[in-house]
Amino acid sequence: MATISDLLPIAGKTPTKLKQISSSSIPPLDISSRSDTIHVSPIPGDVDARTFYLTEMPDDKHLVPPPLISSSEFVPRSLITLLMRKKKSSALGVKFVPHESKPDEITNMEGAMHSFVTPVIGSCEIIGDYRYSGRHGVVLFGEDGEGHGRSRKRLARTVVLSASIQMDFEGANVMLTVCKLGSKQVTGTDFGTKLDVLSTEEKQDGAKRNTYDESLKQHMIFHLISSQRLPARRDVNDALGMDATIKYLDETISSGEDVDKKLVDMFAELHNNQIVSLELLFNTAVHQVRNEFSALEVMCPQGYVYTYDPASIFAQKIGAPILNRLMLAALCHLSAHNIFSNLRIFAFNDYADRSIVPLARIALSKQAQVKVTSKAELFRGPGGKYDIGRFKEAEGALLVIHNNSDGFGQNIETEWETGSLDGAIGSNCSGAASLERSRTDLLNFISPSTN
């Protein structure tokens, strides 16, 4: 079994190995950073963290780093640029909307492609620990100093923020469109790394946009299904029901066999009467996990504690139990071929799925050094703060916050604190400044290097 430095991507095939990311191609790191201590930040007590880093920080943004953008090889540079710079300010409950006074610039299939583009911020300052208690929010760390307002400074924790894009099943027009079986077979077509992105004006033309989106869908099918085709619905007679799908995924993860082989030509019938390709969804999850953990392994040499809050809003059309298991199946697949050298703890929020942590232990069983636990076990400090008292593995390590978002809106910059995990984290940390769309160095660190 190789370490991350020995592993290279397998172009044009389902990836089975973590990507090699050179330490010279990532933003500067402070390897002394750790998340088990609180420190005094430059944020005055009378201003929230997001406002400070977006409006009061020096123009050169030197206080917070740009992200490392970890992408799949089949995503062209032109599309990465569009996705990182052209999100609308808010996308609550909506995807592409044509013919608005300020026309949308990201189509539904471009948003689906964002699943394969993962920004990771290696050093993010947060002024409280996320907690859901009837509503989204954070438990603040408090302030340091005497007096009031600007004479006092907020206390903060340094964390890693993964702005990974969820598989978007909030509605029927993004990932469900990619993976569902229709009246005709869809043959995958690879357009390589060159893509002529439609102009904003062209995207308002329904015919042009539909043709363009269909080409993106065919591109994803080419890279995510071994046969490079999505069959017609009438040609599939053995799709698993929802409960049977969950059971099959549980058994696949627990079997000790090659997960990828067990999901070829497997299909699930959802409660909404749609039949979807489990192979396509599994391989999407493999790319997501591979892109994210490749970045974390190289950005956290001091070790990292990975926390995961499963999708809720973005799981509406498929169900969180299936998405949770696809993520663990992908992790199991990659764990069979790699050593996650710097992963110390894997913590899954199991509030709605109590069987998921034992399944995660099976998925990571080959990573003997990794402690697998419920996320709640790490947040038993006063008010629900991060507390590693029972986890020696976390000493000196960085805490990874896995953000929940889609590919259409810059919600981390605009959403109110109680609106979602995205809003709660965004309101109380420096992440929005690292991901600011106009930032000159936003695209300086992309792996792999794309055309």
User: For position 148, what pLDDT does the model report?
Assistant: 72
Select from 39, 26, 89 the least CA-distant residue to 432.
89
Which of 39-43, 50-54, 107-111 shows the highest mean pLDDT? 107-111
Select from 304, 322, 326, 190 the least CA-distant residue to 253.
326
Q: Write the CB contacts of 167 (distance below 8 Å, at least 6 apart in sequence).
A: 115, 175, 281, 284, 285, 288, 311, 314, 318, 323, 326
User: For position 25, what pLDDT does the model report?
Assistant: 85
Report helix, strand or coil for 380: coil
Select from 429, 440, 451 the least CA-distant residue to 121.
429
Task: Categorise residue 145: left if φ over 0, alpha if ψ from -120 to 50, beta otherwise.
Answer: left
Domain that holds residue 115: 4-447
Q: What total of structural domains would you count in the chain?
A: 1
Residues 276, 233 contacting (CB under 8 angstroms): no
Torsion angle, alpha carbons of 257, 187, 280, 209, to 10: 170
User: For position 405, what pLDDT does the model report?
Assistant: 86
Give the model's confidence band at 252: pLDDT under 50 very low, under 70 low, under 90 confident, else very high.
very high
Residue pLDDT, tens place only, 410-426: 989 998 898 888 889 99
Give the model's confidence band at 4: pLDDT under 50 very low, under 70 low, under 90 confident, else very high.
very low
For tokens 């794309």, what's the residue?
450
pLDDT score of 357 more than 90: yes
Q: How far apart are CA 264 and CA 14, in angstroms?
A: 11
Q: How far apart are CA 195 and CA 400, in angstroms?
A: 33
At 382, give phi and psi (nearest 5°).
-55, 125
* pLDDT above 90: percentage of residues in the chain: 81
Q: Where are the beta strands (DSSP E) in 37-91?
A: 39-44, 68-71
For tokens 């000196």, what's the residue?
396
Q: How far apart are CA 380 and CA 386, in angstroms?
A: 7
b/e map 299-330, b = 16+ CB within 10 Å:
bbebbbbbbbbbbebbbbbbbbbbbbbbbbbb
Residue 204's identity, in one-letter code, is Q
How is residue 265 written in tokens? 């030509």
